[in-house]
Amino acid sequence: MKALRIAVLGSYGKTTMKDMLETVLSRGKKVVATPGNTNVLISHARWLLDDVKGDEEILIFEYGEAEPGDIGRLARFSQPESAVITGMAPAHMDGYGTLDAIGKDFATIYKVAHPESVFFNAESPELASRISQGVEYSSQGVDGWNISAIVVTLNGVSFEMKKAKRHLKLRSGLLGKHNVGPLAAVVAMAARIGLTDSQITQGVAATKPFEHRLQPYKLGGADIIDDTYNGNLEGMKAGLELLASLPAKRKSFVTPGLVEQGLDNEVIHQQLGEYIAKASPDKVVLMKNSNTQAIRAGLEKQNYSGDVQEEDDPLDFYTNLQHIVAAGDLVLLQNDWTDNYR
C-alpha cells in the first residue's frame, strides 16, 4: 500500500491521539484509523482485510501493549514510517514487571520508523527519561513551533503556535492543558505533510472530548467531568490538575483507584492520594476496595483536611449522583473497576 503509515503507542492517551490525528489530517488527506480500541495484531489484520480499501493516503494504527515484544510484533506487521509515543506510566505491570521493560518495548519502534519521524511526549517524565531519540512535544513547543497564550476552560482549550512566518490561533473542545502538547504534535505532523493553515485550524476546532475521557456534562446545575475510562497514574494526575485549575463553588473527586499496578501498587496509590490532596477538592469519594487505605495514607501524608467518604456500592452512588450534587459543583469521576477486581 502507498499510504503513509502512522503508529500510536504509549501507556495512556493512545486512542485520544489517534482520534486527534484522524480528525485533523482528514481535513487534507484521505485517512483511516483503527476503530475504537482495536489495538492488537489480529484486530489490525481483520481491519485491513475488511475495512481498508487501498486508496487511502494515511493509515493510523493504535498499538496495544501487555508484555515485552508486543510493540515489536505490531511494528513488524504495520511497518510505520512515522509514530507518536504518547507517554509512559505504570500499566500492565503484571506483564512487564518494570517501567524499564515498558521503555525497552516502546523503543523497538525505532527499528522500523526513523527517529526524525517519531514524536514523543516530553511532559511524561518516565518516558522522557528513557527515550532520547525523536521529536519532543510539549505545551512549550514542538518541531520548531513555539506555543503561547494557553487558556483552559470547561469548554475546551485555546492556544497559539508560531513557526517562522506561520502563526496559528487554535481552539479545541478537549479539556485540560495536558492536551496542548499532543494537539501541537498533531499540528506539526499535519504541517509536515502539507496541510494548509486553514485546514489545520479547522481540524483542531473539530476535536472534542471522547466518551469517558475528560468528557464534561451538566447534571442538575453541576458540572461533571467523566474520566472513567482513564486507568493510569499520569492520566489521574492530569485530571486532578484540571480540577484544581477550574473555578467552582464546591469540588469533588471520585475514584476507585487503579488496577494492574504490579508490585508498586501500594506506592502508586499513596502517590495518587498525595496528588488528590494537592488538588485540594472539598470532598473525596473513594470506592471501597483493596487500594482505599493506600490512597488515604497519601491524603494524610499531605495533611488533606477535606471530607473523605468511602462507598461500598459504586453502582448505587453513580445512579444517585444527581441527588448528591448541587448547582455550582464541579465533580471529577476518574477510572472505573470491573467486578473481577477487588
Rounded Cα distance, 52 and 33, in Å: 9
Could you tell me the three cell numbers for 259? 488496577
Amino acid at residue number 47: W
Tens of pLDDT, residue by residue over 180-217, are 999 999 999 999 999 999 999 999 999 998 888 889 99
What integer pLDDT is reported at residue 335 of this predicted model? 87
The alpha carbon of 199 is separated from its chain's Cα centroid by a whole number of angstroms, namely 24
What integer pLDDT is reported at residue 341 of this predicted model? 40
Taking the CB of residue 308, how many other CB atoms lie within 10 A of it? 17
What integer pLDDT is reported at residue 337 of this predicted model? 64
Tens of pLDDT, residue by residue over 231-282, are 788 889 999 999 999 999 999 999 999 877 777 889 999 999 999 999 999 9
Exposure of 282 by Cβ count < 10 A (0-12 exposed, 13-18 middle, 19+ buried)? middle
What integer pLDDT is reported at residue 340 of this predicted model? 40
What integer pLDDT is reported at residue 331 of this predicted model? 97
User: Which residues of the chain are under the pLDDT cut of 50?
Assistant: 339-341
pTM of this prediction?
A: 0.86
What integer pLDDT is reported at residue 247 of this predicted model? 94
What integer pLDDT is reported at residue 94 of this predicted model? 81
Kindly report the three-state secondary structure assignment for every residue of the chain.
Answer: CCCEEEEEECCCCHHHHHHHHHHHHCCCCCEEECCCCCCCHHHHHHHHHHCCCCCCCEEEEECCCCCCCHHHHHHHHHCCCEEEECCCCCCCHHHHCCHHHHHHHHHHHHHCCCHHHEEEECCCHHHHCCCCCCEEECCCEECCEEEEEEEEECCEEEEEEEECCEEEEEEECCCCHHHHHHHHHHHHHHHHCCCCHHHHHHHHHCCCCECCECEEEEECCEEEEEECCCCCHHHHHHHHHHHHHCCCCEEEEEECCCCCCHHHHHHHHHHHHHHHHHHCCCEEEEECCCCHHHHHHHHHHCCCCCEEEEECCHHHHHHCHHHCCCCCEEEEEECCCCCCCC
What integer pLDDT is reported at residue 212 of this predicted model? 84
The number of residues in the chain equals 342
